[in-house]
Amino acid sequence: MITLKNITKTYGGAAQIQALKGINLTIDDGEIFGIIGKSGAGKSTLVRCINMLEKPTSGQVIIDDKDLTKMNESQLRAERKNIGMIFQHFNLLSLELIGASKDVIEKKVASLLDLVGLSDRAGNYPSQLSGGQKQRVGIARALASDPKILLCDEATSALDPQTTKSILELLQDINKRLGITIVVITHEMAVVKEICHRVAVIESGVIKEMGRVVDIFTNPQSQTMKDFVTSIINMELPAGIKNLGVTDQLSPDRYMLVRLRFKGAATSDPVVADIVRKFNVEVSVLYGNIDYIQDEPFGYLIVVIMGDMETQAKAFSYIKTLPIGSEVLGYVPRNH
């Protein structure tokens, strides 16, 4: 487990820059944890504090009950064997395993190259590798000391979408197969959506919000997180809905317009069918936006519940008892 307690970092010089302003964070073993933020937010500073490449100005970095901020350089060097790191830009040097025999090294290299899918490239020079292949070598190198933690600072930012996807799949595979805790630093919500279990959003050295990725996507709280979420999924009401003559006035000549929010196991079809079967109403779906976060569906449907006033109200009360989010958006004319 990684615990950051009240981490601050002020860069020296004439202009004192407070890059981190009291970060508190716990990352569980085996988790893929995303840290998202815009340029200059403090992401790289934060991730470099985790392995103490950057010394926090104050606060504690505790990994498996050991306080790294209290260690001397040689203790830190030993501790860093447990923490691999990959970057956006990388220098590929030969793989050095100090103190290991040639046999052991060869075996290790072969198994690492196999793990990252580069067995057929063992004899290549770095200049003969594509960006994605180089990043695979970067990952293999980071895994050479059998770390428990892998820190990735914008590891896919220089790659095209297809290659990004394959590298993210590799990271996910490493997490599943080896149980390594992965910290993913990114400015792209798509990366978070693809592989992260939890995410924290950082702005001007402060964590604005954090939580399970599924929860964040369905219900972001901070403006920063809302901006990131809407950058890849639109939760706004479609313009056409607003033109239906929606009012907040219930009357016998109007139908209830309802938004159903789904996440996880509760998917849309059974719910709609359920309401139709249980009540004397018809349900027409006006708009739907369902996406997947890893294997979990999430999104919403906008439906009109058609029946007499009393039955509509009963149907909605029933919807409220279901494990989905729901809200009445207003009432539309019967001939909507």
Where does this chain bind Mg ion (CB under 5 A)? Answer: 44
Give the Cβ contact number of residue 185 at 10 Å. 25
Instruction: State which residue, 42 or 220, has the beta carbon closest to ligand ATP.
Output: 42
Instruction: State which residue, 21 or 261, has the beta carbon closest to ligand ATP.
Output: 21
Contacts by residues 228-232 (CB-CB < 8 Å, ≥ 24 positions apart): 228/36, 228/189, 228/192, 228/201, 229/189, 231/189, 232/189, 232/190, 232/193
Q: Which of 300, 296, 275, 270 is nearest to 287 (CA)?
A: 300
**Binding residues among 8-37 for ligand ATP as defined by CB under 6 A:** 11, 17, 19, 37
Amino acid, res. 180: I
Q: Which helix (H) or strand (E) holds 209?
A: strand 206-212
Contacts (Cβ under 8 Å, ≥6 apart) of 221: 209
Q: Which of 304, 301, 306, 307 is nearest to 324 (CA)?
A: 301
Instruction: State which residue, 11 or 287, has the beta carbon closest to ligand ATP.
Output: 11
What is the nearest approach in angstroms of Mg ion to the Cβ of residue 116?
23
Instruction: State which residue, 47 or 63, has the beta carbon closest to ligand ATP.
Output: 47
Out of 80, 148, 187, 212, the only residue in the binding site for ligand ATP (CB under 6 A) is 187
Q: Which does 220 bind (CB under 5 to 8 A by kind): ligand ATP, Mg ion, none?
A: none
Q: Which does 19 bind (CB under 5 to 8 A by kind): ligand ATP, Mg ion, none?
A: ligand ATP
Q: Which does 11 bind (CB under 5 to 8 A by kind): Mg ion, ligand ATP, none?
A: ligand ATP
55 binds ligand ATP (CB under 6 A): no
Rounded CA separation 237/239 (Å): 6
Rounded CA separation 291/298 (Å): 5
What is the nearest approach in angstroms of ligand ATP to the Cβ of residue 286?
40
What is the nearest approach in angstroms of Mg ion to the Cβ of residue 188?
13
CA distances from 140 to 7, 44, 109, 111, 215 (A): 30, 21, 8, 9, 33
What is the nearest approach in angstroms of Mg ion to the Cβ of residue 158?
13
Instruction: State which residue, 48 or 263, has the beta carbon closest to ligand ATP.
Output: 48
**Which residue is associated with the tokens 């919500």?**
189
What is the nearest approach in angstroms of Mg ion to the Cβ of residue 154?
6
Binding window for ligand ATP (CB under 6 A); candidates: 38-46, 226-234, 252-260, 269-277:
38-46
Instruction: State which residue, 42 or 138, has the beta carbon closest to ligand ATP.
Output: 42
Residue 302 contacts residue 237 (beta carbons within 8 Å):
yes
Tell me the number of residues near ligand ATP by CB under 6 A: 12
Out of 4, 32, 36, 41, the only residue in the binding site for ligand ATP (CB under 6 A) is 41
Would you call 288 helix, strand, or coil by DSSP? strand
What is the nearest approach in angstroms of ligand ATP to the Cβ of residue 42?
4
The Cβ-side half-sphere exposure at 114, using a 13 Å CA radius, reads 6
Query: In the complex, which residues of this chain contact ligand ATP (CB under 6 A)?
Result: 11, 17, 19, 37, 39-45, 187
